[in-house]
Amino acid sequence: MGAPKPYDVLFRHGLRRVDPEQAHHLGFAAIRAAGPVLHGVDRLERRWRPDRPVEAMGLTFPNVLGLAAGFDKLGVGYDALGALGFGHVEVGTVTAHAQPGNPKPRLFRLPDDRAVVNRMGFNNDGASAVAQRLERRRSADRGPVLGINIGKSKIVPDDDAPAVLADYETSTRLLAPHADYLVVNVSSPNTPGLRNLQAVDRLAPLLEHVRKVADDARPDRLPLLVKIAPDLADDDVLAVADLATDQGLEGIIATNTTIGRDGLRSAAGEVERAGAGGLSGAPLRARATDVVRMLRDRVGPDLTLIGVGGISTAEDARERLAAGATLIQAYTGFIYGGPRWPRTILRGVGEAAVDGLR
């Protein structure tokens, strides 16, 4: 066994002792502050070991790896995150109304499982503020492909269909002009009633409406995706696959966090202290992979599938791609892996691709 990596030592003896949400803010601030240096290093690394671009949804992704929604909720540092190696960054989740999210503490680590429990509750500045920020920040050097993930405002009852449509309409109208692709999030467990919108009879009119508003908001066709939960029954996963095909969606993101807690290594008391919320990280790997494989078998080769959930190692990434993912995303693996983690994953995926050609 080799010497511990510097970030592992820092995490174990430093960051692990800091409140997880505070650690996130400190780490993200450091990434943003280091942005100019990171961009220089990124250019050198890409020249030395060029990425393998991926063509999907009419877009060119610099590489296969993206950062999932939840890290840059406000659109304040996606360019610096791209300089760490992420080929695309998904901002959000953004809601029509600004909202503080759930009471703190609301983010918890389960290190023995390389997992995180969150019940953030879509804390964000609201669609108008995020749209204005993105309009200021996007320049000729656009950085990574930018996805924007939109969700339902907490104040909107999920059983008031016209209000739900109006809520997503506001976010779409404001944010679609700034996105390379748009994601309808109906799968977070932390907004009451949100997952009810995954039922096909509720989801179909919502996606139709978002599509129409997005088409009205810009002259070109904006790729539209839906993000689903791993806790859906298999039949419901297949129903969403059929809906995506019927409506001509550009893709599906599989999967969000899980409300399940089966098979965890962490002590029962530690899991209980973390409480309710969505579990992300390594325990999600098997189910998320199964959902991607199921979706690919159903939709055929053309629909874009973005695989997310439990990707911690290059082997995990290769497994997800082999299951049928067009692109992959991570969040918790990055938290535990540190700033060199994206390049480590890409190097492992790239080397495997080269070995496969020998």
pLDDT over 60 at 2, yes or no: no
Q: Is 245 annotated as a binding residue?
A: no
Q: Is 63 annotated as a binding residue?
A: no
Rounded CA separation 146/134 (Å): 10
The candidate with the shortest Cα–Cα distance to 179, out of 252, 70, 94, is 94
Q: How many CB atoms lie within 10 A of CB 191?
A: 26
**For the ranges 13-22, 105-114, 293-302, which has the lowest average pLDDT?**
13-22
The predicted structure's pLDDT at residue 353: 56
Looking at the annotation, which residues are catalytic? 188
The predicted structure's pLDDT at residue 107: 96
**DSSP bridge partners of 94:** 150
Rounded CA separation 332/330 (Å): 6
Q: What is the pTM of this model?
A: 0.92
Q: Is 5 annotated as a binding residue?
A: no
**For the ranges 161-170, 326-335, 343-352, which has the lowest average pLDDT?**
343-352
* Digit-coded pLDDT (tens) for 32-68: 998 888 878 777 777 777 789 999 999 999 999 999 9
The predicted structure's pLDDT at residue 354: 44
* Digit-coded pLDDT (tens) for 248-288: 999 999 999 999 999 999 999 999 999 999 999 999 999 99
Domains, in order of start, for the chain? 6-357 (3.20.20.70)
Give the H/E segment covering residue 227. Answer: strand 224-228
Q: Is 332 annotated as a binding residue?
A: yes
Per the rule left: phi > 0, alpha: psi between -120 and 50, beta: everything else, 342 is alpha
Give percent of the chain with pLDDT exceeding 70.
91
Q: What is the largest CA-CA distance in the chain?
A: 59
Q: Is 72 annotated as a binding residue?
A: yes
The predicted structure's pLDDT at residue 113: 96
Tokens 């050198």 label which residue?
44
Q: Is 119 annotated as a binding residue?
A: yes
CA angle 99, 156, 134 (to 5 degrees): 45
Rounded CA separation 155/99 (Å): 9
